[in-house]
A and B are shown apart, each in its own frame.
Chain A
Amino acid sequence: MALAVDRVKERWREIPPDRRRYTVIAVELAITIALWLWIAELGYGFAYLVSVLWAFRIEDDRIRWAVEAVIVVTTLIFQPPLGIISIIIFALDELPERIRRIALPITAIAVAILYPFYVSHLFELPVFGPFPGVSTGVVMVVFMMMAVGLNIVVGYAGLLDLGYVAFYAMGAYTAAWFASLQFPTHTIHLGAVGISPELPGIHISIWLILAIAGILTAFTGIVIGLPTLRLRGDYLAIVTLGFGEILPQIARNGDNLFGTGFNLTNGPNGITPIDAPGFGERLHDWTAGFLPANFLTAQNAERIFYWGALVLLLITVFCSWRMRDSRLGRAWVAIREDEIAAAAMGVPLMRTKTWAYASGAFFGGIAGAYYASFKSATFPGDFFFNISVFILCMVILGGMGNIWGVILGAAFLSYLDREGLANIGGWLNDNLNVNIDVPLYASGIYGVIILVVMLFRPEGLIPDRRRSHELHEGVADETLYDVRGVAEEAL
């Protein structure tokens, strides 16, 4: 199938560039008109996308500026928020490469931080419906963190981890153990906010818990990794899958662990409520109300959770980015590209792999702990194999090894999971006269995404340059003489 696609591509490249361009414009115009006749908004949306993409490609400065001005003015008149978005996009495009490298992340961070303020002024997209709300935003950011964590294992070190959900569960349960009524026989209070000091159970400040969760999960990662990382790639995948199934099962059956009556996880009922995160009254006053005393009781609790998650994500991204360029990160890439060569060059395989595993697990644990305290609950039903594949799908769709790609993939897929699929389903059912429960088929849709990406664009939406070279055929296994092809021709 992929071969047929290649053949079509080749044919296409043989056509002279001018004719190619006109054909594309004609087809796009036809699609726009067809969509417009069907549902006007779809036509406008498509026309906008196409014109922006074409505007980027115009080489003559003045013509490009003129076209961009026309687009900006038109959108400002008919859809002001889109006009502002267009201005930002074009401004970024016009900046020189060196400044853009800095401006792009800063803009992205600013857009993310300010999101709660302007989301209510945004327009509705055709098909996808309204932009995600702030509480969906929290989930999206948490999943971005997990995807960036998994990216260290899968993207950098090239170890397929099919049990990432185990780390997520570990983090969530750590938060639940250290900030709830789960162990009423012990009363330990350490910086928890919003609860009476006499309350039984362990109550520790969320910020400490995040650190504990990270370390505990990293430790779990090492314990899982040490015996299993000797195994080759696909065996390792299976073993991680095994752990990813065992840990949630322990969570499910942990209300009476091995018949001893010890209630570790409260079984299928889960642990709830979990204490609210917060900085306490004193820090709140010191910072003149900048740091919230208690996330849950604060005004705009959702926004505060969102910003908290965003800060954690930024830390994760920063660590992940610095680690990639460190000695350790380069060792990961070396192992991914050729284990034997890396070992011959003196890279300690076991230690490097274990570090990849532990770092990936660390961020997964923190994300899990934060998510549990956002939901104020943790249930064993949240930790299925599907979640592992869901996070893996984010990494693959975005582009293995590329932080920006992975964040984009995570944002898109977790949005789809929370709101997008329901919106799309509603739109389909309204406009096509069908009755499909689209969210029911979520895992199938992820399956299709995985399959299509792996077959046609294995490097993902935003490829990592090195990784994309590896994924495009045969760098690792290229033989001097293609025996198979010759033999097949002979047959």
Chain B
Amino acid sequence: MATPTHANRAPFALIGGRRPSGVSAVGLVFVALLLFWLAVNFVKTPADFIEIALIGLTTGCLYALVALGYTLVYGILELINFAHGDVFMLGGMISATIVTSWFSLTGDQSFFRTWPLVIVTLLIAMTACGLINATIELVAYRPLRNAPRLAPLITAIGVSFILQNIALAWKGPNFVSVPNIFPQSAVFSIGSVEYTWNKLIVVLITVPVLFSLVYLVRYTKQGKAMRATAQDMDAAAMMGINVNRTVSFTFLIAGALAGAAGLLYALYVTNVRYDQGFQLGLIAFTSAVLGGIGNLPGAVLGAILIGLIQAFNEGLTWHTPGSDWTQSIVFAILILILVFRPEGLLGERTPEGG
């Protein structure tokens, strides 16, 4: 685990350095083309454009919650937790079950019946997913902490498949549908563009969660321990930090975020399937890399960008590849970022990343 360049990394940093080069010139041209494409689309269909942007912002918030889990875990263990997307999916499944079977919410009940129960569901889903994630770490990653780097990555894929099959055995191969609990009515509308409540609710739940996470990591003792462990596990242990507990705690937090995302996804998209977690997990991971992996604000920025790109790609009409290509575009972004700017948008350049 202790690579010689380990200490040079600044985990959870706020702002990184810049690196001017020919590569960034190509990047700038690419970004300029992208902006031009967006501008033309905006001029052609302004109302659609804004509506699509709002959709993108909402999915971006969902991705942010999942991407933060990747970033937290990568920051501390330098492990790509492939199973994270499936933990998120289990969160969606758990929420769907609780909301429909336990509380039998339909969305038609009164405000005071619906919302406390949704909050309770949120807490249950967060706790459950946090515990699942911490258990995964305990069983599948901890025994391999001193093994070659690729060993835990391979087990992570195994765990991901196992979680998918647990969901498959639990809920079957079809979509699990959830009633429309978030109201679809408009919060406000400008012209023909409506901003609906369900989108606002996603943002309203995401933002406090994000702020409490930032508070936790930057201002609490436990957060300090996390940052120290991320920077140098051995040195942190020598300073009296219980490394194993800190790692478990990180997985717990990451899982809780995935659980929150799972609930929001289940209630916003209103259907969940056993294999959705893996795909969405990869998108979220791309967001984390785009923003600079190990960097909390970066993950959020990357997630919102990816959410926007996805929504524009699927919604806009002028010279748009369309939803058939969404996955390819996301992966192309991932590959380009890793090849040309492995430190991401906000990350700091490290000897290891390049």
Q: CB within 8 Å of B: which residues of A?
A: 1-3, 158, 160, 162, 227-228, 230-235, 237-239, 241-243, 245-246, 249-250, 252-253, 258, 385, 389, 392, 396, 440-441, 443-451, 454-455, 458, 470-471, 473-474, 476-477, 479, 483-484, 487-488, 490-491
Contacts and interface: CB of A to CB of B under 8 A. Distances in A.
Contacts of A487: 237-238, 240, 243
Contacts of B165: 441, 443-445, 447
A233 B338 CA distance: 12
A491 B244 CA distance: 12
B338 A454 contact: no
Contacts of A440: 168, 173
B161 A249 contact: no
Contact of B80 (A1, A238, A446): A238
29 contacts: A158-B148, A232-B352, A234-B78, A234-B80, A235-B342, A237-B80, A237-B150, A237-B153, A238-B334, A239-B338, A243-B331, A249-B327, A389-B161, A396-B154, A443-B164, A443-B165, A444-B162, A447-B158, A447-B162, A451-B140, A451-B158, A455-B144, A471-B151, A474-B146, A477-B1, A483-B237, A483-B238, A488-B243, A491-B240
B65 to A, nearest CB: 20
B143 A3 contact: yes
A396, A447, A449, A471 interface centre (most CB from chain B within 10 Å): A447
Contacts of A471: 147-148, 151
Nearest to B242: A491
Contacts of B240: 487, 490-491
B334 A242 contact: yes
Given A3-B143, A488-B242, A234 B237 contact: no
Nearest to B149: A233
Given A385-B278, A392-B154, A490-B240, 12 more contacts: A232-B352, A233-B149, A238-B338, A239-B334, A253-B324, A443-B164, A444-B164, A444-B165, A444-B169, A455-B144, A458-B147, A470-B148
Contact of B331 (A233, A234, A246, A441): A246
Nearest to A232: B352
A475 to B, nearest CB: 9
A233, A234, A389 interface centre (most CB from chain B within 10 Å): A234
B144, B157, B234, B238 interface centre (most CB from chain A within 10 Å): B157
Interface in B26-67: none
Contact of B166 (A444, A455, A490): A444
B332 interface: yes
Contacts of A490: 240
Nearest to A258: B321
Contact of B151 (A446, A458, A474): A458
A67 B229 CA distance: 59
Contacts of B243: 484, 487-488
Contacts of B147: 458, 471, 473
A245 B159 contact: no
A1 B331 contact: no
Contacts of A444: 161-162, 164-166, 168-169
B149, B150, B278 interface centre (most CB from chain A within 10 Å): B150
B133 to A, nearest CB: 16
Given A233-B149, A234-B78, A246-B328, A450 B1 contact: no
Interface in B141-199: 143-144, 146-151, 153-155, 157-162, 164-166, 168-169, 173
B12 interface: no
B256 interface: no
Interface of B: 1-2, 78-80, 138-140, 143-144, 146-151, 153-155, 157-162, 164-166, 168-169, 173, 233-234, 237-238, 240, 242-244, 278, 282, 285, 289, 321, 324-325, 327-328, 331-332, 334-335, 338-339, 342, 352-354
Nearest to B162: A447
Contacts of A246: 327-328, 331-332
Contacts of A488: 237, 242-244
B342 A454 contact: no
Contacts of A253: 324-325
Contacts of A451: 140, 155, 158-159, 162
- Give the interface SS of chain A, mostly helix, strand, loop or mixed: helix
A249 B325 contact: yes
Nearest first, the 3 A-B pairs at minimum CB distance are A444-B165, A447-B161, A450-B158
Contact of A455 (B140, B282, B342): B140
A234 B152 CA distance: 10
Nearest to A448: B162
Contact of B160 (A258, A396, A447, A448): A447
A234 B233 contact: no
Nearest to B244: A488
A160 B331 contact: no
Contacts of A234: 78-80, 149-150, 153
Contacts of B173: 440
Contacts of B160: 447
B282 A241 contact: yes
Nearest to A242: B331
Nearest to A436: B169
Given A231-B342, A396-B154, A441-B165, A245 B327 contact: yes
Contacts of B332: 242, 246
Contact of B161 (A450, A454, A477, A483): A450
B244 A162 contact: no
B150 A233 contact: yes
A272 to B, nearest CB: 22
Contact of A484 (B237, B289, B334): B237
A160 B242 CA distance: 31
A483 B234 contact: yes
A420 to B, nearest CB: 17
Contacts of B242: 488, 491
A162 B162 CA distance: 17
Contacts of B149: 233-234
B348 to A, nearest CB: 16
Contact of B150 (A1, A160, A242, A443): A160
A454 B155 contact: yes
Contacts of B285: 238
A490 B237 CA distance: 10
B174 to A, nearest CB: 12
Given A160-B153, A447-B159, A488-B242, A477 B2 contact: yes
B289 to A, nearest CB: 8
Nearest to B285: A238
Given A228-B339, A243-B335, A471-B148, A448 B158 contact: yes
A375 B17 CA distance: 54
Contacts of B146: 473-474, 477
Contact of B335 (A3, A242, A441): A242
